Amino acid sequence: MRSRYLTLGSVQLIGALAIVQPHHAQAQPYMAAISGDGTPSSAAGANAGVAQIPDPAASEPQLLTPAQLFAYADAAAAQGDLDLAESAYRALSDHPDRKLRNEARFRLARLYADKMGRPRDAAVLLRHILDEEPDITAVRVELARIQAQLGNIQAARRELRAAGAGALPPRVERLIRFYASALSARQKEGGNLEIALAPTTNINRATDTDTLGTVIGDFTLAKDAQSKSGIGLSLRGQAWRKVALTGNAELLLRASASGNFYRDSRFEDIGIAFQAGPQWQLGGRPQPGMRGGRQGRLSLAPTLSHRWYGRSSYLLSYGLTGDWQRPLGTRSQLRMDAAALHEDNRQSRLRGGMRYTFGLGVDHALTPAMGGGLKFDAARMVARDPGYSNVTFGSGAYLFREIGRTTLAAAASWQHLEADERLFLFPEKRRDDRLSASLSGTFRALTFGTFAPLLRLRYERNFSTIELYDFRRFGADIGVVAAF
């Protein structure tokens, strides 16, 4: 290996924002794991990382220090020998020195994302770095960039908010604002999928009582109207695509589907939805280095959805939805959504009518490894029968925390429902208070491919003045999700 490789240009810590430094011997690597003179950052790294790579011009394999191997890999990547560069970075990615192996992972992630068309593999590598060193801002911003390439826009915004929670130089803060504002324009298509086994104590959200009180006396409920326990298969996924229009507008096409499948098909619950409408980047497209943190995004979309229960058509709805988002600095985001939907209940015409919803929420990064949010929502249902017309309102909160290679998340919500009038069969009108809570963990230490195991525990309790709607429910999801 000739020492001239050490004079090749590299990218500093801010390199995750794609700011390339000039070619000179003192340039620092992406994450500053190698010192300016090309020596490892620790004595342990200097002694433990000697590798062998055959040089075509040499008759014997040459022993290389980690610094030389980094230079060798950089040169191979620059000359287009991507397989050789990958092999060299991979040899260093298992180095016992944490900074050296994470430096190698970072460079390999950039190689995967920018030159080899493997952004999912890049995202997994960057997540491994953050599992060990959660406070490295550059890696979070790079992960946000790749999440956007994959279509995981919300995850990308979450990473940018986490990056903004650390102490940042003004220049980096401005660039994070630029990335946050320009994020929506980076990806044109994407999707996600979750698969899980879902045991629950009450698959049909039914009462556990065997009688129903009415104005003409108590009735005995049929077994099918009472709570049933079971184990099902839960599937959830979505796919979307953007089509450029003019100026700051684009057309967003989205399709989503969900299903809970059981051995007894009478309790299967399946839904699909389609949306298509314009999306605007408010305030124009920001330029790098400018304050772009106040740009917002507005979406409007006609929507159509269909739900089946027990393999029979249950609910068809269509209408208009709207969504508005606005960053509040680098650590917070304000969200507002609204919808007006016509609901056609296929099993009871009297339940059909118009539904109007409104929600307001805020997300905030407390630290690079911890964040949360609050949400307030309200809805108005105007049904053909006033007994089914109602007003609902409530609030919810969530909190997540990254601990090593595990992400823990907790959520809780409350919702109150009050009907306009009582149904003729019951002694009083319906009033509900629903409490729900969940605790989940994503275990990236057990990652296979681009997926990681997920365990989610759920609890739901609905208090109602009408016994038919009074229930409790414990459940779990044991499955896999995307690992980043």
Bridge partners of residue 403, in order along the sequence: 406
pTM for the predicted model, two decimal places: 0.69
Q: Are 455 and 118 in contact (CB under 8 A)?
A: no
Determine the distance from the C-alpha atom of residue 59 to the mean position of all C-alpha atoms in its chain, rounded to a whole number: 51
Model pLDDT, residue 207: 87
Alpha helices for 37-152 (secondary structure H): 43-48, 66-78, 82-93, 98-114, 119-132, 137-150
Model pLDDT, residue 60: 54
Dihedral angle, C-alpha 82, 87, 90, 95, nearest 10 °? -130
- Residue 306 to residues 84, 354, 357, 377, Cα–Cα distance (Å): 51, 15, 18, 23
Model pLDDT, residue 55: 52
Q: Are 192 and 237 in contact (CB under 8 A)?
A: yes
Enumerate domains of the chain plus CATH numbers.
3-185 (1.25.40.10), 191-482 (2.40.160.40)
Question: What is the rounded distance in angstroms from the CA atom of residue 72 to the CA atom of residue 84?
Answer: 9
Question: What is the rounded distance in angstroms from the CA atom of residue 406 to the CA atom of residue 400?
Answer: 10
Burial class (CB in 10 A: 0-12, 13-18, 19+), 257: middle
Model pLDDT, residue 331: 81
Burial class (CB in 10 A: 0-12, 13-18, 19+), 43: exposed
Phi and psi at residue 390, to the nearest 5°: -160, 165
Q: Which two tokens stand for residue 24?
A: 């000179």
- Mean pLDDT (10-residue bins), the chain, 484 residues: 28 28 33 36 38 49 76 88 90 87 91 88 88 83 80 74 62 54 57 90 87 78 82 91 85 93 92 94 54 69 96 96 88 92 94 97 86 95 95 96 87 97 90 96 80 92 92 95 64
Question: What is the rounded distance in angstroms from the CA atom of residue 385 to the CA atom of residue 334?
Answer: 36
Q: Which two tokens stand for residue 339?
A: 């919808």
Q: Which two tokens stand for residue 108?
A: 């390999």
Model pLDDT, residue 287: 44
The CA angle 114-286-28, to the nearest 5 degrees, is 45
Question: What is the rounded distance in angstroms from the CA atom of residue 74 to the CA atom of residue 345?
Answer: 62
Model pLDDT, residue 197: 96
Model pLDDT, residue 18: 28
Model pLDDT, residue 449: 72
Model pLDDT, residue 108: 93
Beta strands in 137-268 (DSSP E): 189-200, 211-214, 217-220, 230-244, 249-261
What one-letter code names the amino acid at 379?
A: A
Q: Which two tokens stand for residue 203?
A: 């698959």
Question: What is the rounded distance in angstroms from the CA atom of residue 197 to the CA atom of residue 233?
Answer: 5
Q: Are 11 and 142 in contact (CB under 8 A)?
A: no
In the block, tokens 């009518």 appear at: 353
Span between the terminal Cα atoms of the chain, in Å: 37
Model pLDDT, residue 283: 67
Model pLDDT, residue 173: 54
Model pLDDT, residue 67: 84
Model pLDDT, residue 386: 93
